[in-house]
Chains A and B, each alone.
Chain A
Amino acid sequence: MATVVRASETAGRRSSTVLIVATSTIAAGKRPKTRSILLKTVMAVTGLIFVGFILAHMYGNLMIFAGKEDFNEYAHHLREFGTPMLPYAGFLWVMRITLVVSLVLHAGSAFALWHRAGQARTTQYLARKGQWATFVKRSMRWGGVALLIFVVFHILHFTTNTIQIGGDYDNPADRLVASFGEWWAVLIYLFAVAALGMHLLHGIWSAGMTLGLNTSLDAAERLRLAAILVAVVVVVGFALPPVAILLGLIP
């Protein structure tokens, strides 16, 4: 049964299905896939683009408190932005394309990482302590999917006017006020906003980590505060208009 191995030869022990090697040298031939960290970087950058858009969008929504005219004026202004350098609504299209590309990259990376995590542990534990991290992991992934579905619905609702709630109006302000007169529409939006808040709470912290900003315990604290701040601002900022409309505070 004895085997002879001279130092100049190589020998790894293997069993039929699992490779058990006494510290082997790096296996040749295998090519690294795209590094997980790069996928993460893509998510962080696109995620932050979303955050920029979201903050601007939230500011726009809050214009409703200044009155319907101002709100419509704002929507109109968006389309005129950049003219005459850009064609009418040109800026909007640049933004839309950026958002769509970002979304594809963001969601694509998310699914790739999700898949890799599944491959990395194919046998599950019998016992698992209820973990905050597990919750966060699920809420990011399923929350992300929920956001995706919401965005589709939302665009059909406000941008294309395909889904009509509370009647058919041709200006954004009226559409808004009519829609949020329905309690269930408000509920859908609040639910989406909550999902967004959760997503940002971890997402902003996570993007900071990914971009190498967390380099000390103090930096970690700052990052955490920033994430909380943005999440709270976004949730409150988005929730105000629908709630105000439902309560009849906006004529």
Chain B
Amino acid sequence: MTLIEGLYTEGAPIADTAAPDGPIAEKWTKHQFDNQLVNPANRRKLDVIIVGTGLAGASAGATLGEAGYNVKSFCYQDSPRRAHSIAAQGGINAAKNYKGDGDSIYRLFYDTVKGGDYRSRETNVYRLAEVSADIIDQCVAQGVPFAREYGGLLDNRSFGGVQVSRTFYARGQTGQQLLIGAYQALERQIGAGTVKMYARHEMLELIVVDGKARGIIARDMVTGEIETHLADAVVLASGGYGNVYFLSTNAMGCNVTANWRAHRKGAYFANPCYTQIHPTCIPVSGDHQSKLTLMSESLRNDGRIWVPKRREDCEKDPREIPEEDRDYYLERIYPAFGNLVPRDIASRQAKNMCDEGRGVGPKVGDFRRGVYLDFKDAIGRLGEDAVRAKYGNLFDMYKQITGEDPYQVPMRIYPAVHYTMGGLWVDYDLQATIPGLFVTGEANFSDHGANRLGASALMQGLADGYFVLPNTIRNYLADGPYEPIDVTHPAVVEAQDAVESRVTELLGINGERSVDSFHKELGHIMWEYCGMERSEEGLRKAIDLIRSLREEFWRNVRVLGAADTLNQSLEKAGRVADFLELGELMCIDALHRRESCGGHFRAESQTEDGEALRHDDEFLYVGAWEWGGDDGNPILHKETLEYEFIELKQRSYK
């Protein structure tokens, strides 16, 4: 069956997610028991490749190493400690109920499913909530310096609009501290010889032999050598792909390559269009901008968001605009939640204000892209010192970047791409549709549905790496060691050749345009048409634009330098080439999902007063896409979502 004029075809639905039967609270325990064990003496004989050393990858590497498997770990940075997880600021959720405010595994489960706008899989989310408490214990034992109260016990805060205080934090550097904990555990295993680390190595291809994932091709980014690494199982923990938008809060090197290469080899890519746009980022200041900086969401607890009522006022000094000429639009439209509405709503409304011509700050293109986040009232109410104590480091960071003092002048903020809920499709075992390929952390699509709650990505990364994957992968490894293969195997040769010829091709085009210029243009298309608000017309246009941009890329890109040294242009070129394919799939996914849900807002699917409208009757499924070949169309496989334990409701924040 062909839909939307031949953009994709629909394949067989996904029947099995490998989740065990039984009451939801017992599934995980039962599953761990049912999964086969691997004899400690045999573990040494089993090789596992882990791509990525973020929370998801480092924790898995450390745990599998401790267990005695032979682990090879890869990351593109110069040290595993630099994975992008390090940038997370706010905190990590866990159902510890240390505050005695009525939190529980069930409540965290419920909040996560609801926050994801009923587009996530109940079984996985319940398990996530279940192991969340163990994460905190593990991290504390490693010496992660969480915030503490005077009594010496851990402090919690409430985060992302939930009613309970379940977020553990380490000032504004939670991700850093958690990652350093996992990194140290990983380094301990490297020292012990169970894990072999390959830093400055980029995975460029997946090796699939007889239908099973058996290794990767990686490029040593220092010498340029193309290396083959074989194993019994491959784990991808390569993070999110928000950089398809060029400007995002992600690190410069975040990419989709590992995932995309696996997708091209047969792994399904689920819900690629689900992206989260974060409302409180520092706005773009010009076209030289390379990335956007997130300001913690906690600022919305005390800051008030507004734009001038009249367009003429937009150029004025904000301090000279009197109260009656200001539009505190979130407080006006959503009196119950005010400035604390969920991320997607806050983001979309900011965009609406700017599109109306009421944005503030410098003009970038035809519009001013910024709204005020004003602390004047908070400073008046609490005093400058109290505000400094709470947000001082964020204010300093803002000042460092913009040169403006937020104690005097209101901050300017604008939404930016922040997180990708989509990713490779995995079952309950975190196994992709290629046996032996496991995917963890932000790289998989699993637990957040159409929208992720604040402080839940860190939780998921560590849950996957410390507790889930080690207990599911063993079931697969217990059937190993798998048949030995060597470099002469046709599948291996084919993968090597593919990588080498791609490198040669990129270096040989020698066209007119730099890699960055293509990336920027792609990002622009994605942001414009597949960003906060998507429409049928826009998405169609985007698909055409991306196709011709991709065609031009392979004809006109200029990659200088050689293959056998550190070559950052070459690295970027490979990543952008994959983004150019992913972008199209994202648009097709967005186009086919004719509903608004979570972070995905379809212009054609809204209520009379402009709020998101979900269509559970038609779209209560995970859209998992199969690669249709270079000349074919992607094939959609639906995994129907069943809600046994939670009742579906429309969100309303009015």
Write the residues of chain A forming the contact surface with B, with a CB cutoff of 8 angstroms.
Answer: 1-8, 10-11, 13, 15, 20, 22-26
Contacts and interface: CB of A to CB of B under 8 A. Distances in A.
Interface in B161-214: 190-191, 193, 196-201
B125 interface: no
A212 B555 CA distance: 64
10 contacts: A4-B229, A4-B230, A4-B486, A4-B487, A5-B228, A22-B201, A22-B222, A23-B79, A23-B197, A24-B197
A153 B199 CA distance: 58
A127 B112 CA distance: 54
Contacts of A26: 191
Contacts of B223: 13, 15, 20
Interface in B196-248: 196-201, 217, 220, 222-223, 225-231
B464 interface: no
B47 interface: yes
A130 to B, nearest CB: 26
B597 interface: no
A24 B227 CA distance: 17
B257 interface: no
Interface in B460-476: none
9 cross-chain pairs, A with B, having the tightest CB-CB distances, nearest first = A7-B47, A23-B197, A7-B70, A7-B72, A23-B199, A22-B199, A2-B496, A4-B487, A22-B198
Instruction: Tell me which of A4, A5, A7, A15 has the highest count of chain B C-beta atoms within 10 A of its own C-beta.
Output: A7
Given A1-B500, A4-B487, A25 B193 contact: yes
Given A4-B487, A23-B79, A13 B222 contact: yes
Contacts of B228: 2-5
Contacts of B71: 7
A11 B198 CA distance: 9
B49 A13 contact: no
B436 to A, nearest CB: 14
A14 to B, nearest CB: 9
Contacts of A8: 47, 70
Given A2-B496, A22-B201, A23-B79, A7 B225 contact: no
A1 B252 CA distance: 29
B80 interface: yes
B227 A2 contact: yes
Instruction: Tell me which of B196, B198, B223 has the highest count of chain A C-beta atoms within 10 A of its own C-beta.
Output: B196
A15 B486 CA distance: 26
B612 to A, nearest CB: 46
Instruction: Tell me which of B190, B198, B230 has the highest count of chain A C-beta atoms within 10 A of its own C-beta.
Output: B198
Contact of A7 (B196, B226, B496, B500): B196
Contacts of A22: 197-201, 220, 222
B213 to A, nearest CB: 14
A80 B199 CA distance: 70
A6 B227 CA distance: 11
A25 B188 CA distance: 10
B201 A3 contact: no
Instruction: Tell me which of B71, B197, B217 has the highest count of chain A C-beta atoms within 10 A of its own C-beta.
Output: B197
A24 B190 CA distance: 8
Nearest to A3: B227
B232 to A, nearest CB: 9
Nearest to B224: A1
Contact of B229 (A5, A10, A23): A5
A22 B226 CA distance: 14
B358 to A, nearest CB: 47
Given A6-B231, A22-B199, A24-B197, 16 more contacts: A1-B226, A2-B226, A2-B227, A2-B228, A2-B496, A3-B225, A4-B228, A4-B229, A5-B229, A7-B47, A7-B49, A7-B70, A20-B222, A22-B198, A23-B198, A25-B190
Given A3-B225, A10-B196, A25 B191 contact: yes
A126 B395 CA distance: 36
B487 A2 contact: yes
A233 B72 CA distance: 62
Contacts of B200: 22
A5 B49 contact: no
Instruction: Tell me which of A8, A22, A24, A26 has the highest count of chain B C-beta atoms within 10 A of its own C-beta.
Output: A22
A8 to B, nearest CB: 6
B327 to A, nearest CB: 47
Contacts of A13: 220, 222-223, 225
Contacts of B199: 22-23
A96 to B, nearest CB: 49
A22 B53 CA distance: 14
Contacts of A4: 228-230, 486-487
Nearest to B47: A7
Nearest to B198: A22
Nearest to B44: A8
Given A1-B225, A13-B225, A6 B193 contact: no
A3 B200 CA distance: 17
A214 B60 CA distance: 39
B218 to A, nearest CB: 10
B404 to A, nearest CB: 29
Contacts of B197: 22-24
Instruction: Tell me which of A1, A3, A23 has the highest count of chain B C-beta atoms within 10 A of its own C-beta.
Output: A23
Contacts of A3: 225, 227-228
Contacts of B487: 2, 4
A1 B227 CA distance: 8
A66 to B, nearest CB: 58
Contact of B227 (A5, A10, A25): A5
A8 B190 CA distance: 13
B123 to A, nearest CB: 32
A11 B197 CA distance: 10
Contacts of A1: 225-226, 500
